[in-house]
Amino acid sequence: MTGNRTEVRRTGVFARVAGGGLLLFGVVCLAATFAGYMASFRYLEMLADYRPYLLCACLGALVGGVAAYHFGVRGRWMIAAVACAAVGTIVNALEVLPWVLASKPVYRSGDGIQVRPLKAVAFNVEGANTNFMATKAFIERESPDLVMLCEATARWSEELSVLKQGWKYHFRAESMDIELYSRHPIVRTQLFAYGPNRGFVAAQIQVERSEFTVMATHTYPRHWYGDEGYRHRTQAIQDGLGRRVSMLQQPVVVLGDLNASPWSPAYKAMMRTSGLRDARWGNGLAPSHHGHGPVSRWLWRPIDHCLYSPEVSLDSFKVGPDLGSDHLPIVVTFRIPPGAIPGSGIPAK
């Protein structure tokens, strides 16, 4: 009898410890899940970028809790742990799974008119990166119509100046370290600054008898420039891109590093205001950025974007190879409808 009581006590202690540990893990995952919606706090909002990881963590806690309960490890703490994990799994699944399960957009030519596809490459080269030759070789291999580079310091501009031979239309925003190379005429440009050295360039590109606007953007990261940098980033996304894109009267394509994932509150607000579509939709999560730290280098985020207005047709979207930056390049192929209104693409400041 004494042995049985001891065994029961041990089982009870194990159940409480297991349940308490699982509950703590579930509460942390659930708190991180809802913290990603807190747009007023930059470090908490950043958790939204990691929703795929939070989904896996919550799902793991849920499976572990259900399995433990099935094998007799029970108690109020275990029930609470399973409940927290279930809520976190549902919330994160509703955010992440639509991007994974969505169908790819299908190009349909209107009225039998075949429009030639255009290809663009957008790449945050990372200023300290020195893989100039690999980047040049990648761009030449992809042979896009348009190249957008950000964090393109003076050294990068000098090293890649040879691209002007194949992409003879060139614009550099010196204050933002943004470069545009185009095979088609750049007929007008305008800079929109949000903070001392970040924002976006609006450039009108002429293709045959049509024009469209490219917005090449690079916003501040949340954690490097304090609350002011975070405010500039949010303004650039919501007020800058969101409001100004809604004013355009011709097709628009947005390329660049937004420092915001599709689950960021600022990104969601911008998409509602602008009516843009995301080239990632139907093409998987396509993560494009990782940190350099021992942990962050394994945590990828989809923060480099191609967004486009509804009249633009998307053919393909993919991320490119590792070229030494903490970002991967993105490659997109799209079609601009013929007869887009000339001279109406860049809204006034």
The verdict on 120 and 95 lying in the same domain is no
Confidence category of residue 24, pLDDT binned at 50, 70, 90: confident
Query: Is residue 347 assigned to a domain?
Result: no
Question: What is d(CA 314, CA 197) in angstroms, rounded to the nearest whole number?
Answer: 31
The verdict on 256 and 130 lying in the same domain is yes
Helix (H, G, I), strand (E, B) or coil at 112: helix
15 vs 21, 22, 266, CA distance in Å? 10, 10, 43
The verdict on 11 and 128 lying in the same domain is no
The verdict on 39 and 62 lying in the same domain is yes
18 has a pLDDT exceeding 80: no
Token pair in block for residue 10:
């041990």
Q: SS in 3 state form for 294-315?
A: CCHHHCCECCEEEEECCCCEEE
Choosing from 39, 72, 101, the residue where a domain stops is 101
The verdict on 91 and 121 lying in the same domain is no
The verdict on 62 and 182 lying in the same domain is no
pLDDT 10s digits, 78-113: 788 889 999 999 999 999 999 999 887 766 555 444
Query: Is residue 343 assigned to a domain?
Result: no
Helix (H, G, I), strand (E, B) or coil at 334: strand
Confidence category of residue 342, pLDDT binned at 50, 70, 90: low
Contact yes or no for 55/92 (Cβ under 8 A): yes
pLDDT 10s digits, 225-250: 888 999 999 999 998 999 999 888 88
CA torsion angle 160 161 163 164 (round to 10)? 160
Confidence category of residue 8, pLDDT binned at 50, 70, 90: very low
Share of the chain above pLDDT 90, in %: 68
Contact yes or no for 3/42 (Cβ under 8 A): no
Choosing from 101, 136, 160, the residue where a domain stops is 101
Residues spanned by the domain of 79: 2-101
Contact yes or no for 58/33 (Cβ under 8 A): yes
Strands (E), 169-247: 169-173, 178-182, 186-193, 199-207, 210-218
The verdict on 70 and 144 lying in the same domain is no
Choosing from 70, 101, 132, the residue where a domain stops is 101
14 has a pLDDT exceeding 90: no
Token pair in block for residue 196:
């001392």
| pLDDT value of residue 5 | 47
170 has a pLDDT exceeding 60: yes
Confidence category of residue 1, pLDDT binned at 50, 70, 90: very low
Question: What is d(CA 329, CA 284) in angstroms, rounded to the nearest whole number?
Answer: 16
The verdict on 119 and 88 lying in the same domain is no
The verdict on 253 and 148 lying in the same domain is yes
Query: Is residue 19 assigned to a domain?
Result: yes
The verdict on 68 and 150 lying in the same domain is no
Range of lowest pLDDT (66-70, 165-169, 304-308): 66-70
Q: What is the mean pLDDT of the chain?
A: 88
Query: Based on the structure, what is the number of domains in the chain?
Result: 2
The verdict on 95 and 164 lying in the same domain is no
CATH of the domain at 225: 3.60.10.10
Contacts of 313 (CB under 8 A, 6+ apart): 105, 107, 108, 115, 334, 335, 337
Contact yes or no for 175/158 (Cβ under 8 A): no
Query: Is residue 340 assigned to a domain?
Result: no
Query: Is residue 7 assigned to a domain?
Result: yes
